[in-house]
Amino acid sequence: MFLLRFALKNPYAVWAAAIGLCLLGLSVVPRIPADILPDFRTPVVVSYFSYPGLPTGEMEKSVTSRVERALTLAGRMEHQESRTMPGASLIKIFFQPGTNPSSAMNDIVNLEASDMFHLPPGIEYPFTLRSEPANLPVVLAAIHGEGLSETELYKIGYYAVRNKMGGLQGVQIPHPFGGKFRQMMVYVDPVKLQSLHLSAADVVHALKQANLVMAGGNIKMGSTDYLVHPINTLPGTEDIDNVPITTRDGRTIFIKDVGYTKDDAALQYNIVRVNGERSVYCPLLREPGENTIAVVDRIYEGIGREIPKMKERGDIPAATKVELVNDQSGYIRSAIRNVQYELGIGAILVVLVVGLTLRRFKPSLAVLMVIPLSILIGMLGFYFSGNNINVMTLGGIALAIGAVVNASIVVVENIVRHLDMGKNGTDAARDGASEVAPAVLAGTVTTLAVFIPIIFLTGMIRYLFEPMALAAVLTIGASYVVAMTVVPAFCSRLMTKDRKDSSQDHQDKSKDQTKNDGLINRLLQFSMRFRIPLIAAVVVLVGCSYLLYDRIGTELFPAVDAGTFELRVKTTPGTRLEETEKLVERIEQTIEEVIPENEIRNIISNIGLPVGKGAGFSTVLSSNTGPDSAFLITNLNQAGRTTSSLEYVEKLRKVL
């Protein structure tokens, strides 16, 4: 009642507040982070250890198991999961809900540092980061070009695309997948080494001594302070060939005497194919707290602006093509469009129902304005509570649309009834709203009470459904406040009528009400006359529903036609990378045979796993375990496609 009295006493202040909240809501909505799923607040830390060349069994024994035992000292740790691969180990540490993520991260880093001296000598320092949905790519930048080698493609991705895109707001970009890393390779002849009583270690030692970068200090001479540059790098193959290894009988033995140097590439452990062509792709990630849609838009704008500039400057070859694929923002955009569509349908239905029932435009307008106002106020609550927009929150808003207008319809209908009784706008708004205020409050509280059990959920399910419940509660709660303030203020000033016409309108309204009451009475009489058959029918329906319950399938997320699907391949352990690529090529051909060419946008294949320095973050983003595994991502065109991606998946299961 306080809200009602304040609104009727200060209608213009209420209107000003409503307009201000609308403008504020419109300004903060673009700033709310948008993602596919809610932010999971269970701290998870991922550690990556790399030791290229160490077999899987020894890696598991000497690194994974050892580190897992050391990390058990971390406070509030729940459990660990690990994945050991040839030359690499990936460990996930899960903490109890509510644990401070920064503290968990610090504990893991400190424990790893204290245990490093127990690990095999030469192992690289671990790469450690927090794991969350933001650590998944929002889009992939596929790099290819006619006549460009894999070494050139990797160079373009690593030095050009990565540097430019990494400077965009809210964008993170790790090392590229695929391609070959340029490297000077020295190939030695074991027979020549043996004849000179040398080993490969002697060659390595000579290269380290000849290729030197170090700080030499300074020399003060007179009034000048000189910096000493004891730097000697080997720029080309000829310089490396002329590096001395040792001296035998007064004769200097050079590298060219036992082998040769080639401007080549490091051993390749990862192959990327885009539409059947060897390529490179850079995964672009969204920083935590950023809006996915805004980040993807910046990436598209940045690629379209920077790539032509780099071609003009000669930084990259003119044949270079950078294509953005696997755009994850499309699903979010589709969800937002669906909610907007539902809002439009809801608004139209509200206008029709209220207009046909009350036969007036202004009451329909009063109810209609409740929908956007309630949603914008709910978005304000979402913004200040630190939540993001995702499919669950949008689902909560869509779920609440029906309940949003309930309170306003009841209030407006009763105000109209008092207007028909001949009262002026202010009296009708006061009497009509005050009469139904307790019922409206009870109905709103009852609806909100449905979401109370969600606070007792635990684990991932709670983080999934809590934002949905919060969105519904904020929107429905805002609709009640609007129904008891903005709606009465609107009706008190704009819904007035002459007393001369009110009696006739009241008579017409009474006739309509009599017709409605007669229909309801006939339905009640029918129900009472056949109450036993009706009760029996209800019992039978409930019983049948209970019997069918166990036959209904269950899954965490419903199957949707997202226009993309992923296929994972696992071959016999020990299979060479090249052999796995041949199998992937046959699978790509099968996909092209099953799906019409005009419906396939692109097929992205990732074979093997990056190994070595800088591969830590990339390894976290890949489901592959080594050269014997791969995954294929098929993106379909939305326009002109008549078959869903789910149907194509079932067809491929049968064929493959």
What is the residue type of 528? M
Q: CA dist 313 to 147, 157, 310, 316, 318, Å?
A: 20, 17, 5, 8, 10
Rg (CA), the chain: 35
**Per-residue pLDDT, 648:** 92
pLDDT at 508 exceeding the cut of 70: no
For the segment 129-142, the average pLDDT, to the nearest whole number, is 79
Residue count (the chain): 656
Smallest Cα–Cα separation from 370: which of 22, 101, 8, 13?
22
For the segment 360-385, the average pLDDT, to the nearest whole number, is 84
Express as a percent the part of the chain with pLDDT over 70: 93
For the segment 290-294, the average pLDDT, to the nearest whole number, is 84
Structure tokens at 592: 């092209």
Q: What would the pLDDT profile of 324-333 be if each residue is shown by its tens digit?
A: 988 888 877 8
Q: What would the pLDDT profile of 535-553 be if each residue is shown by its tens digit?
A: 999 999 998 888 888 788 7
Report DSSP letters for 577-621, one per residue.
HHHHHHHHHHHHHHHHHHS-GGGEEEEEEEEE---STT-HHHHHT
The residues near 203 (Cβ < 8 Å, ≥ 6 apart) are 186, 188, 193, 245, 255, 258, 259
For the segment 328-357, the average pLDDT, to the nearest whole number, is 76
Q: Is 212 exposed, middle or buried (0-12, 13-18, 19+ CB in 10 A)?
A: exposed
**Per-residue pLDDT, 190:** 93
**Per-residue pLDDT, 501:** 46
Q: What is the 3-state secondary structure (H, E, C) of 168-214?
A: CCCEECCCCEECCCEEEEEEECHHHHHHCCCCHHHHHHHHHHHCECC
Three-state DSSP state, 280: strand
For the segment 558-569, the average pLDDT, to the nearest whole number, is 84
* Owner of token pair 């790790």: 174
DSSP 8-state class, residue 290: S
Three-state DSSP state, 2: helix
Smallest Cα–Cα separation from 437: which of 406, 417, 476, 410?
410
Domains of the chain, each with CATH number or no CATH: 2-37+331-497 (1.20.1640.10), 41-131 (3.30.70.1430), 183-265 (3.30.2090.10), 564-655 (3.30.70.1430)
pLDDT at 642 exceeding the cut of 60: yes
DSSP 8-state class, residue 482: H
136 neighbors 288 (Cβ within 8 angstroms)? no
